[in-house]
């Protein structure tokens, strides 16, 4: 069997962290087993679906390097849905119901008041043809429900949650089509999964109850259900479900300087006991990917952890991978010099600004002793050979002639040369600054 997974977003907004994780898991499972990963645009909600979000979705998946092997749009498949719908109506598995939303709300309140579960009472099934004709003559259009089979429990083996069991008698017959003819999620999704040959449905645990309903839909369609995996939902660093996670989009992550490799590396392991590692190459992650390694506890997403992981990813990126995002004059040598000190690639431009100058030493101002020390440093810097290792030659000569060592030896030089107290290795940075700029900065720091 060729494994076929699918990612089925609705184009009503940008992809957020939860969406990305679902897409990644589907893509990884398919790639790990030599299968196919399909993209399905669930745009049946034509009022809220926007083409700009479809375009953004394609851009986001491309940036994350999650290439689909095929694509479908639900808005182009209405004829298929209608044919399957008509067949299910004829078979008695879908029936019209005429209650208004207000009437349904009242029924639920009454049931709750009596200590009963608020499930649909199937009153519409007791209507006669004459009753239905009268209601429609009064201008009441029906919505349509899928009739659940109460004969046996709904059971399946979930790749993450294990054995699942639902009693259909405790569930409402789901509405599959509104009175205006528009489709709700579950029936078109099941029809598409059958038609597209989806073998595995990977999604969040908030869909577990939907899966129970859809399993009966698959049977009514004459098809074997896919295998399911329901991943635990993400929580924020504070341990609670975070509204921010529901809006933290790919565009925001990209603007914050997060690398796609960091997002993939974190979300591939989040929810497992496996260590999160700064994997630039996906192959090690694919080789270890197994839904049996995922737990049922909520998965904790920590933006601070993502940024730490991002820095470790950036430290591995070669110049060719980032050159289009660096200042035009920045060289491979300069990238290698500043890379160990970066959290994001965009920070390289700041350090290139330090190389090219001008720089201003940070407060507090240098002491008189440090000013005299920098005057000596300028004299020594003018006398050394800059073709070799000027930093170590310069600091060794200053150590010998001034007796300084440690922080007193190095910090005034770094502050005068870079305007900062911390940063990349000065042995790598000083040759980039160059003799003339270095002399000017040392003389400026000395007051000369």
Instruction: Name residue 39's beta-bridge partners.
Output: 7, 71
Residue 399 labeled ligand binder: no
- Hey, which bits of 219-301 come out as E strands? 227-231, 234-235, 299-300
Answer whether the bond into residue 417 is a cis peptide, omega within 30°: no
Report pTM.
0.90
Half-sphere exposure of 397 (CA within 13 A, CB side): 17
The CA R_g of the chain, rounded to the nearest whole Å, is 32
3-class DSSP state for residue 362? Answer: coil
3-class DSSP state for residue 93? Answer: coil
Distance of CA 365 to the CA centre of its chain: 45
Write the burial class of residue 126 (CB in 10 Å: 0-12 exposed, 13-18 middle, 19+ buried).
exposed
Write the burial class of residue 42 (CB in 10 Å: 0-12 exposed, 13-18 middle, 19+ buried).
buried
Closest-CA residue to 95 (of 220, 185, 254): 220
Half-sphere exposure of 308 (CA within 13 A, CB side): 7
The reported pLDDT for the residue numbered 249 is 87
The reported pLDDT for the residue numbered 386 is 96
Is the distance from CB of 415 to CB of 361 less than 8 angstroms?
yes
- Give the model confidence (pLDDT) of 226-274 as tens digits: 999 999 999 887 666 555 666 688 899 999 999 999 999 999 999 999 9
The reported pLDDT for the residue numbered 98 is 97
Ranges of residues in the chain whose predicted pLDDT is under 70: 238-247, 363-366, 446-448
The reported pLDDT for the residue numbered 368 is 78
The reported pLDDT for the residue numbered 365 is 65
The reported pLDDT for the residue numbered 46 is 86
3-class DSSP state for residue 43? Answer: coil
């Amino acid at each position: 069997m060729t494994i076929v997974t699918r990612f089925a977003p609705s184009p009503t907004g940008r992809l957020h962290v939860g969406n990305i994780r679902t897409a990644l898991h589907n893509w990884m499972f398919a790639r790990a087993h030599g299968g196919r990963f399909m993209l399905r645009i669930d745009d049946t909600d034509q009022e809220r679906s926007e083409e700009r979000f479809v375009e953004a979705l394609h851009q986001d998946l491309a940036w994350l390097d999650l290439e689909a092997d095929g694509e479908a749009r639900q808005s182009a498949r209405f004829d298929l849905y209608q044919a399957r719908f008509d067949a299910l109506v004829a078979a008695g598995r879908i029936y019209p119901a005429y209650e208004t939303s207000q009437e349904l709300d009242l029924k639920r309140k009454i049931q709750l008041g009596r200590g009963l579960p608020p499930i649909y009472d199937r009153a519409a099934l007791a209507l006669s043809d004459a009753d239905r004709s009268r209601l429609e003559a009064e201008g009441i259009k029906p919505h349509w429900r899928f009739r659940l089979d109460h004969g046996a429990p709904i059971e399946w083996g979930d790749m993450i949650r294990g054995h699942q069991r639902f009693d259909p008698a405790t569930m409402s017959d789901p509405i599959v089509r509104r009175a205006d003819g528009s489709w709700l999620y579950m029936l078109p999704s099941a029809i598409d999964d059958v038609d597209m040959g989806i073998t595995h449905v990977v999604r969040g645990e908030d869909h577990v109850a939907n899966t129970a309903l859809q399993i009966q839909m698959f049977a009514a369609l004459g098809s074997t259900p896919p295998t399911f995996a329901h991943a635990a939902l993400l929580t924020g660093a504070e341990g609670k479900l975070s509204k921010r996670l529901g809006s933290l989009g790919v565009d925001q992550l990209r603007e914050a300087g997060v690398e796609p490799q960091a997002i993939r590396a974190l979300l591939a392991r989040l929810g497992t006991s496996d260590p999160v590692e700064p994997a630039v190459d996906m192959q090690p992650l694919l080789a270890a990917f197994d839904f049996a390694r995922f737990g049922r506890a909520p998965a904790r997403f920590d933006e601070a952890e993502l940024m730490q992981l991002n820095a470790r990813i950036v430290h591995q990126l070669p110049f060719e991978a980032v050159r289009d995002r660096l200042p035009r004059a920045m060289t491979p040598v300069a990238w290698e010099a500043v890379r160990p000190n970066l959290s994001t690639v965009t920070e390289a431009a700041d350090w290139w600004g330090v190389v090219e100058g001008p720089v201003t030493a940070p407060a507090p101002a240098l002491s008189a002793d440090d000013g005299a020390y920098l005057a000596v440093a300028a004299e020594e810097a003018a006398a050394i050979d800059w073709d070799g290792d000027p930093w170590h030659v310069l600091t060794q000569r200053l150590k010998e002639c001034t007796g300084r060592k440690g922080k007193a030896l190095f910090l005034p030089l770094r502050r005068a040369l870079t305007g900062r107290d911390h940063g990349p290795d000065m042995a790598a940075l000083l040759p980039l600054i160059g003799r003339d700029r270095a002399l000017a900065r040392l003389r400026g720091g000395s007051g000369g």
